[in-house]
Amino acid sequence: MPKYSLVGYDGSDAARRAFAFAMELARACGGRVRVVSVLQVAEGGDTCALMMTDTGTERVQELKDELATMAPDAASLVDVELIHGSPGDVLLSQVGHHGIDHIVIGHTERGALARWLLGSVSTNVLARAHVPVTVVR
C-alpha cells in the first residue's frame, strides 16, 4: 500500500478530486500526502523571479488553508510545496527527491486542439513515471 502519495494541485475540480482520493488512501494506509502546486513561468527576467519569491510563502499558506477546508486533518497528513517549472517534470522529479511511491493526478477533459497546444500533464506523467499512477476523473 502507498505510504507517500504525490498530488499535483492546481485548484481545479479534477485536482480537488485527486486530493480527496489521496487523503482517503493516506488515512486507510497510514500514509502521507505531498501536494505540489507548479507555477509555469514565462521568461521574464529577474523582476518576475523576484515577484514569485515574494508571493511564494503567502501562496503556500493560502494553499494549506484551502486544503484544510477540504480535509480538516490535512495539517497532520499533508506536506505542501510550491515549485516553479514544467508540471510534468516537477511532479516526476518529486518521486526521487522525496521517496514518493504513488502519484495521484486529476484529469480534465480537453479537446484535441487544446491537448495539442497545451499538452497533457496526466499523459506526460503516465508515460514517464516509475511508480504507480492513479488518474482521477
Q: 42-65 pLDDT, tens per residue?
A: 655 555 554 555 457 888 999 999
The CATH number assigned to the domain holding 52 equals 3.40.50.620
In the prediction, which pLDDT does 114 show? 46
- State mean pLDDT over 75-87: 93
Q: By residue range, what is the domain housing residue 65?
A: 4-136
Please give the tally of structural domains in the chain. Answer: 1
User: Using an 8 Å Cβ cutoff, are 7 and 107 in contact?
Assistant: no
Q: Please, which pLDDT band fits residue 118 given cuts at 50, 70 and 90?
A: very low
Indicate the pTM of the whole model: 0.85
Q: Of the candidates 79, 96, 62, which has an alpha carbon nearest to the alpha carbon of residue 22?
A: 79
Residue 123, pLDDT score? 82
In the structure grid, which three cell numbers stand for residue 88, read together? 510534468
**Residue 49: per-residue pLDDT:** 53
Distances in Å between the alpha carbon of 85 and those of 5, 113, 116, 131? 20, 23, 19, 21
Q: Is the pLDDT of residue 82 over 70?
A: yes
| Res. 71: pLDDT tops 90 | yes
